[in-house]
Amino acid sequence: MKAAEIRDLSEKERGEKIADLQQEIFNLKFQLATGKIENPSRLRLIRRDIARIRTIQKETEVQESKKEEQPKS
């Protein structure tokens, strides 16, 4: 996923996407252990997507906390 696509998602959708990707990682690791994995590089891509989503989540949290800290005039 591209970062722009992730930013367009709501917070709930991002959480659901992470859960889906974690389930996919679990399935791929199981396939890897049994030797039936078709595309082992997919694991790396999924881990990066999860990291990208979590980074954007953190960015939005920081932006929201900065908005709350600004003094109201």
pLDDT at 33: 94
Length of the chain measured in residues: 73
Distance in Å from the first CA to the final CA of the chain? 40
Residue 70: predicted pLDDT: 79
pLDDT in the model for residue 69:
82
Residue type at 44 in one-letter notation: R
The three-class DSSP label of residue 49 is helix
* pLDDT value at residue 58: 95
Helix-helix angle 11-34:41-69, to 10 degrees: 160
**What type of residue sits at position 68?**
E
Q: For the chain, 73 residues long, give each residue's pLDDT as a single digit of tens.
A: 788 999 999 999 999 999 999 999 999 999 999 999 899 999 999 999 999 999 999 999 999 888 888 776 5
Quickly name the fold that domain 3-69 has: Helix Hairpins (1.10.287)
